[in-house]
Amino acid sequence: MEKPGDRMSCYLTKALGNVGAELALQVPGRVSTEIDARLAYDTQGIVQRVHELLQIYNEHDIPSERLLFKIPATWQGIEASRLLESEGTQTHLTFVYSFAQAAAAAQAGASVVQIFVGRIRDWAKNHSGDPEIDEALKKGEDAGLALVKKAYVYIHKNGYKTKLMAAAVRNKQDVFSLLGIDYIIAPLKILQSLDESVTDSDEKYGYVQRLTLSLDKMYNFSQEELVKWDQLSLAAAMGPAAEELLASGLEGYANQARRVEELFAKIWPPPNV
């Protein structure tokens, strides 16, 4: 490749695949590989990058069922997820901050949808004017947890295969409130606080599911929420919270990618290559 930027992208893609393959040899579950946030609005660019990574994983004899590819939940990312899932490649849609994103991702057949509970809560503490969040607060609910519950009911009620993941979990009460969800990303300090809790062992190691299908009585989905989502309806339904949080998340991840490139350029290629 003639352009230095293209060469660096190639190096980093190879590095991601190599590191992911090493991780796949050490863990029993799936490995999720982040797709460059700078491709967030490029459906074909995302699909091409995933195909490149699949080829690298294949060279390491890592089967595709051991892999997830983490893609930003822009409309273009959701479309990329639909195309990849139709090929049998599992996708993990991230930066989901609204019901519209979660519903569109489920309709696209995404394997995993990741909702950032704490980030939505933080936004709600300092802002107003988002209809979805205002509605949750009016009911006395936590905005982040409310989105997870609504997405859970929508996915299960409509029979979608999508699994839900909660991230940006701030405390152990969040964990208790999310029991029944498919996956929780919890910081080590929260896991330690759960482990160190002084309580009866039956209670400590018990499991009272909070997310169940009985929640569907709480939700009467509107016709607008049940329609087939497209780019225009998604854009219209995303409130200011989702728009701001998605934009800031993409900017942060793009900056991290540039930082990694700067560091990587210092060590690769070595002088003899």
Active centre residues (catalytic): 70
Q: Is the Cβ–Cβ distance between 9 and 1 less than 8 Å?
A: no
One-letter amino acid of 265: A
> Burial level of 189, CB count in 10 A (0-12/13-18/19+)?
exposed
> Residue 269, preceding bond cis, omega within 30 degrees?
yes
Q: How far is CA 144 from CA 15, 137, 166, 237, in A?
A: 34, 10, 9, 17
One-letter amino acid of 209: Q
Terminal alpha carbon distance of the chain: 14
Q: Give CA–CA dist 194/192, Å, rounded.
A: 5
One-letter amino acid of 40: A
Q: Give CA–CA dist 180/117, Å, rounded.
A: 15
Q: Give CA–CA dist 61/79, Å, rounded.
A: 28
Q: Is the Cβ–Cβ distance between 57 and 17 less than 8 Å?
A: yes
Joined together, the tokens standing for residue 149 give 């519950």
Q: Give CA–CA dist 91/56, Å, rounded.
A: 17
Instruction: Kindly state the DSSP code that residue 69 receives in the 8-state scheme.
Output: E
Local structure of 105: helix, strand or coil: helix
